[in-house]
Structure 1
């Protein structure tokens, strides 16, 4: 069985919900990623959302807001999706395809330990599985 931990990119970086979007963008640049899990220090550093580079552009900059004044917590919304590290990769594919999400945090012992992205999926699936995944996410 291939698990989420087997295919994830390890070492996902967190950003606290009180940090500003300009700091999130700097972290994304420095780590070469397009998304960061957002933690809530007031709730035991549990994940309270995820922020993407697209969120920063579309929900802040394009609306005329200052990324130095808007926090990650201001634009995180909804229940964050994640997968347990020991879960079969088929569960990750269903979660990502069913919710049309492109990145999925991987959690072990209630802590984010990595992230599954489209690139990780592409490296570990057959061509047929990859085609089905792409159809579900982008349909």
Structure 2
């Protein structure tokens, strides 16, 4: 059985909730990723922001990414999976919530992220195809 801990990209870097969206965009560019976990002063996961969030919820509304913080966009409780969750549970969680990336948690701490690319490397073509079909509806 393959677990989330085996599928994930380890060492996900957080953007702090008080950092600006410009900071978040720079980090995304440096890491070549499209999403970042948002962590609070307690270093626990408080949300996720994507490059699309920055464009749609900040830039397209004429707001300044140098003034808006990551915490402002990281609203609601993030969907996560436990590092010990099996691959079927990871797929179900991502499909049920129609998300393309999911943070992996171990002992209440962020330990990694799973993206579509990670799924493609660890699952059958049929599983990945079904996942993409569900997500893109």
Q: Normalising TM by the smaller chain, what interval?
A: over 0.9
Equivalent residue in structure 2 for 1:76, among 74, 77, 81: 74
Match of 2:55 in 1: 57
Q: How does 1:1-139 map to 2 (within 5 A)?
A: 1-41=1-41, 44-139=42-137
- Post-superposition Cα deviations, 1:37-74, rounded to whole Å, max 9, x if no partner, equal 10111xx2221100111100110001100000000111
DSSP-derived class of the 2:38 partner? strand
Q: TM-score, normalised by structure 1?
A: 0.95
CA distance in 1, matches of 2:63, 2:79: 27
- 1:76 CA drift (Å): 1.3
CA distance in 1, matches of 2:127, 2:121: 11
- 1:113 CA drift (Å): 1.1
Matched length: 137
CA distance in 2, matches of 1:76, 1:130: 27
- 1:32 CA drift (Å): 1.2
Give 5+ residue unaligned stretches, structure 1: none
